[in-house]
Amino acid sequence: MFDQLSGRLEKMLKFLRGEVKVTDKNLAEALKMMRLAFLEADVNYRVVRDFEARIKEKALGEEVLGGLNPAQQVIKIVHDELAAILGGAEKPLQFSNRPPSIFMLVGLQGSGKTTTCGKLARWVAGIGKNPLLVSFDMKRPAAQEQLKTISASLGFPFYEMTSARMASPKEALKELKIHSVNRGYDPLIVDTAGRLHVDDELMDELRLVRDILNPTEVVYVGDAMTGQDAVRSAQAFEEKIGLSAVILTKLDGDARGGAALSIVSVTGRPIKFIGVGEKPDKLEVFHPERMASRILGMGDILSLIEKAQDEADVAEAEEMARKLRKQEFTLEDFKKQIVQMKKMGSLSDLLGHLPQVGPFKNLAKAQVDERKIVHFAAIIDSMTVEERANPRLLNGSRRARIARGSGRPVYEINQLVKQFQGMQRMMKSSSVRKLVGGLK
């Protein structure tokens, strides 16, 4: 599934990885490769157009996340947008809090409704439910038989809907509901008739069933192999009878993926499962994020990004250690350090690792107070670049000016300078330098 699309996108990713910087020019080239890949995968052209516009806007606007090079940054954006058009966060199957829940499956002829009824029954049984299968496909005599056979082979109960019963559909449904409640069936999985094309007769029939059933989920079953036809017919079903979810079938074949990549944007309905084979166990819960990673051929992109965020911190810490060793540590660095510590949250944990002696002792105490961090940062912000690099410049009048600028009392500025100088002195002692060097 998605092999061709993955292959083409992989080319784009390779191209981007080879570039040191993302420029207007190479971004345009990458986007062109991506557009072609999507169009060849039969993705709806409007979806492609919007997708491209969003990537462009984000790629040019976004600040580079520490640890990711600009190309990886674009790849992350593509990944996130891909997950978004596949539906974003996972949407689980809805169950009614007044059982039985009713799942009504609709779709064109041969899309896989009846097969999916069996798969779904198996899936819900797997989470401890007790499904009952019923078919409202009255046109083809074989239709009832097909679902009956599937139910029997999987060991699930099947409720026979005869023409006689359906002569008064409301009564038939009432009976069906009483039957389910009495026997504790939940959910009812309802198969319906398909047609080669969307036509009024089919829609009227489905609306009638929908009106009497009042289903918890109306699930559109679409054949992914038919690409944009599946998307167009989904749109028609959505307009005429209203849908709540989508199941795409036959994603095991050589479906190019266009249906999967367009259907959520076009219908506004989430894909909840995908069918990946004819057998009853070939139904998978649909995870948009994972699918995006799979399409991009990089199952590990998410961990890569998480790692990059860690690495950004590590790089910063290494730089600080280097500066401390060379005694180039300034008030500016001091501020970065305390802001960073605040970000990390578990301050006391971190400070627990520092030697609790001399100036460090006070520093630790001062830093544990979160407000103090904000105040210290404000004080440093009010200093000039020279003052930050060389606190010895801070005479009385400068301190008074900084106090006014930061809105903090002069004694707090004195305290900050004292702690900083204490720290500098500590750094001169070889044992501490060794310690900091070792932290790397």
Ligand X SMILES: Nc1nc2c(ncn2[C@@H]2O[C@H](COP(=O)(O)OP(=O)(O)OP(=O)(O)O)[C@@H](O)[C@H]2O)c(=O)[nH]1
Q: Which residues bind ligand X (CB under 6 A)?
A: 107, 109-115, 137, 143, 194, 249-250, 252-253, 275-278, 282
Least distance to ligand X, CB of residue 196, Å:
9
Residues 6+ apart with CB under 8 A from 113: 105, 106, 107, 191, 192, 194, 221
Least distance to ligand X, CB of residue 142, Å:
9
Q: Of Mg ion, ligand X, none, which one sits near residue 408, judging by CB under 5 to 8 A according to partner kind?
A: none
How far, in Å, are 73, 147, 163, 384, 418 from residue 139 at the CA level? 54, 14, 9, 84, 89
Q: Of ligand X, Mg ion, none, which one sits near residue 29, judging by CB under 5 to 8 A according to partner kind?
A: none
Nearer to ligand X, 251 or 426 (CB): 251
Nearer to ligand X, 146 or 362 (CB): 146
Q: Of ligand X, Mg ion, none, which one sits near residue 278, judging by CB under 5 to 8 A according to partner kind?
A: ligand X
Q: Of Mg ion, ligand X, none, which one sits near residue 258, judging by CB under 5 to 8 A according to partner kind?
A: none
Q: Of ligand X, Mg ion, none, which one sits near residue 99, judging by CB under 5 to 8 A according to partner kind?
A: none
Q: Is 151 in the site for Mg ion (CB under 5 A)?
A: no
**Are 373 and 408 in contact, with CB atoms under 8 Å apart?**
no
Nearer to ligand X, 250 or 399 (CB): 250
Q: Is 115 in the site for Mg ion (CB under 5 A)?
A: no
Q: Of Mg ion, ligand X, none, which one sits near residue 253, judging by CB under 5 to 8 A according to partner kind?
A: ligand X
CA dist., res. 204 & res. 210, Å (int): 10
Task: Name residue, tokens 């290494």.
Answer: 318
Least distance to ligand X, CB of residue 137, Å:
6
Least distance to ligand X, CB of residue 110, Å:
5
Nearer to ligand X, 275 or 288 (CB): 275
CA dist., res. 181 & res. 312, Å (int): 58
Nearer to ligand X, 110 or 358 (CB): 110
CA dist., res. 56 & res. 430, Å (int): 51
Nearer to ligand X, 203 or 377 (CB): 203
36-39: long-range contacts, CB 8 A cutoff, minimum separation 24: 36/8, 37/5, 37/8, 37/9, 37/11, 37/12, 38/5, 38/258, 38/261
**Are 100 and 132 in contact, with CB atoms under 8 Å apart?**
yes
Nearer to ligand X, 77 or 225 (CB): 225
Question: Counting Cβ atoms within 10 Å, is residue 266 exposed (0-12), middle (13-18) or buried (19+)?
Answer: middle
Q: Which stretch binds Mg ion (CB under 5 A): 64-72, 90-98, 113-121, 159-167?
A: 113-121
Tokens encoding 349: 């944990």
CA dist., res. 45 & res. 178, Å (int): 48
Least distance to ligand X, CB of residue 225, Å:
8
Q: Is 235 in the site for Mg ion (CB under 5 A)?
A: no
Q: Is 114 in the site for Mg ion (CB under 5 A)?
A: yes
Q: Is 249 in the site for Mg ion (CB under 5 A)?
A: no
Residue nearest to ligand X according to CB distances in the complex: 194
Least distance to ligand X, CB of residue 286, Å:
13
Q: Is 111 in the site for Mg ion (CB under 5 A)?
A: no
Nearer to ligand X, 177 or 282 (CB): 282
Tokens encoding 305: 């990004």
- Closest C-alpha to 253, from 234, 270, 230: 230
Least distance to ligand X, CB of residue 141, Å:
12
Three-state DSSP at 182 gives helix
Tokens encoding 388: 């930050």
**Are 151 and 121 in contact, with CB atoms under 8 Å apart?**
yes
Residues that bind Mg ion (CB under 5 A): 113-114
